[in-house]
Amino acid sequence: MAHLLNTSFIPSSSTLRRVSPSLQFPGHQRSRVPARIDAKIREIFMPALSSTMTEGKIVSWVRSEGDKLSKGESVVVVESDKADMDVETFYDGYLAAIMVEEGGVAPVGSAIALLAESEAEIAEAKSKAASNSSSSSSSSSSAATAVAEPEKVSENPVPTAAVKVAPVVSMPVASTHPASEGGKRIVASPYAKKLAKELKVELGRVVGSGPMGRIVAKDVEAAAATADVASVGPVSAEVGKSAAAAIELGSVVPFTTMQAAVSRNMVESLSVPTFRVGYTITTDALDSLYKKIKSKGVTMTALLAKATALALVQHPVVNSSCRDGKSFTYNSSINIAVAVAIDGGLITPVLQDADKVDIYSLSRKWKELVDKARAKQLQPHEYNSGTFTLSNLGMFGVDRFDAILPPGTGAIMAVGASQPTVVASKDGRIGMKNQMQVNVTADHRVIYGADLASFLQTLAKIIEDPKDLTF
């Protein structure tokens, strides 16, 4: 499992995934356009022509600037990773300004032209295009090619470039490859180069661990992971600003759709009165159980999800959700969402009915979900049906942190690392135990302090005596 992140949580709001990738003009201009240009001037976006397409090359513009277009007409031919395809306009109007010339490459979802509603607006659109082009070109060149989940591709066109490039990973350039000439030349394997381009990792900053110091794929992945961790801190708003290395400093970068969605939800979360309760749980028994059944494919994530689900069975209120502020719902099933960082964002695959499914099936399911998430193949019900969320930063050595409650759910639990700790026991001895800290954020409109406290007590009991986890 890669990196389970805490904050920049993508909510399961349905607006995010209503746009099918085949739409040439994703219908979400509302979310972007007002921020940049007049509503009557629409952006024409690089469409996602396949589920694996991350960027497209403009083969030719079928129409030229100033042409009147009517809905359904071909405007541009785009070369994707699979094929050359005609792209049609979704609206009537005038092709006001072409922002990406023939032969140019643009990431999926970025603006490639402006469509004006009336002739009068052409000039205005042109000036917008001109003023935008500098910022848009810088953002498009640096924009991550990372695709979000396919359903969201057109909605989340330019996932945070900054996330990947931004943090100057403070690794020494220590390539010892004889051909690297002291770092002047970079020796990276073909796949490492491909990955670096995809993940926006600067190869010059990656330490090679392959034969003779060559950079191989896992080095790039490690560098990307470190970059992710460094940039996606608790304050996700920082993401844009920390774009130091590859992005012009001082430039104003408009939110991508994904960033806008995250921002909207984070702001929305402020309307929910949350509070937090922490607990320290001894994990020696869980660790040894894990060691025992690890070979059967059981993962720690599945164990934690299982334990949480079993605790939730006894505390249904913690598994409830309040949407309208007047009533709340006891959810009928216990679906544990687990936050997973993916290229350019974060997704929460859901382990459904985690209380009922046995640990082995749950582990298999988890592996399947993660693979799907990586392959951008998750179906909506597989990431938006969570009733309780787990976020684990333990693998980074984080000992405790604080999660923001995803709107629409009752509670989220932040899990820190399990660490050897000196513990005084009741019988007056001092011993070493592995302990981890968990911290639950909950909606106080429906879940009260005592609810959370007793839930955590139950959870601690289950984890400290985990025989029930394996049935």
Please state the length of the chain: 471
Q: Mind spelling out the 3-state secondary structure of the chain?
A: CCCCCCCCCCCCCHHHHCCCCCCCCCCCHHHHHHHHCCCCEEEEECCCCCCCCCEEEEEEECCCCCCEECCCCEEEEEECCCCEEEEECCCCEEEEEECCCCCCEEECCCEEEEEECCCHHHHHHHHHHHHHHHHHHHHHHHCCCCCCCHHHCCCCCCCCHHHHHCCCCCCCCCCCCHHHCCCCCCCECHHHHHHHHHHCCCHHHCCCCCHHHCECHHHHHHHHHHHHHHHCCCCCCHHHHCCCCCCCCCCCCCCCHHHHHHHHHHHHHCCCCEEEEEEEEECHHHHHHHHHHHHHCCCHHHHHHHHHHHHHHHCHHHHEEECCCCCEEECCCCCEEECEEECCEEECCEECCCCCCCHHHHHHHHHHHHHHHHCCCCCHHHCCCCCEEEEECHHHCCCCCCCCCCCCCCEEEEECCCEEEEEECCCCCEEEEEEEEEEEEEECCCCCHHHHHHHHHHHHHHHHCHHHHHC
| Nearest to other proteins of 182, 190 (CB atom) | 190
- Least CB distance to other proteins at residue 84 (A): 9
- Least CB distance to other proteins at residue 213 (A): 10
Stretch of 100-108, 154-162, 191-199, 324-332 contacting other proteins, by CB under 8 A: 191-199
- Least CB distance to other proteins at residue 13 (A): 27
Please give the Cα distance from 119 to 136 (Å, whole number). Answer: 24
| Nearest to other proteins of 56, 394 (CB atom) | 56
Which among 3, 315, 381, 444 is annotated as catalytic?
444
Token output for 135 = 């910022």
Q: In terms of Cα–Cα distance, which of 155, 195, 153, 165 is closest to 55?
A: 153
For other proteins, what does the binding mask look like between residues 353 and 372, x meaning CB under 8 A?
Answer: ------------------x-
Stretch of 12-20, 172-180, 252-260, 380-388 contacting other proteins, by CB under 8 A: 172-180
218 binds other proteins (CB under 8 A): no
71 binds other proteins (CB under 8 A): no
Stretch of 209-217, 238-246, 334-342, 348-356 contacting other proteins, by CB under 8 A: 209-217
Q: Are 344 and 148 in contact (CB under 8 A)?
A: yes
Stretch of 61-69, 179-187, 221-229, 447-455 contacting other proteins, by CB under 8 A: 179-187
216 binds other proteins (CB under 8 A): yes
189 binds other proteins (CB under 8 A): yes
Stretch of 24-32, 161-169, 214-222, 236-244 contacting other proteins, by CB under 8 A: 214-222
102 binds other proteins (CB under 8 A): no
For other proteins, what does the binding mask look like between residues 33 and 62, x meaning CB under 8 A?
Answer: -------------------x----------
**Residue from the set 74, 141, 329, 377 that interacts with other proteins by CB under 8 A:** 377
By CB under 8 A, the count of residues binding other proteins is 23
- Least CB distance to other proteins at residue 198 (A): 11
191 binds other proteins (CB under 8 A): yes
| Nearest to other proteins of 367, 461 (CB atom) | 367
120 binds other proteins (CB under 8 A): no
Q: Does the active-site annotation cover 315?
A: no
CA angle 222, 345, 375 (to 5 degrees): 75
267 binds other proteins (CB under 8 A): no
81 binds other proteins (CB under 8 A): yes
Burial environment of residue 391 by CB neighbours within 10 A (0 to 12, 13 to 18, 19 or more): buried
**Residue from the set 267, 375, 432, 453 that interacts with other proteins by CB under 8 A:** 375
22 binds other proteins (CB under 8 A): no
82 binds other proteins (CB under 8 A): yes
**Residue from the set 18, 193, 205, 400 that interacts with other proteins by CB under 8 A:** 193
194 binds other proteins (CB under 8 A): yes
Stretch of 14-22, 79-87, 276-284, 429-437 contacting other proteins, by CB under 8 A: 79-87
Active centre residues (catalytic) = 444
Contact positions vs other proteins (CB under 8 A): 52, 81-83, 177-179, 185, 187, 189-191, 193-194, 210-212, 214, 216-217, 371, 375, 377
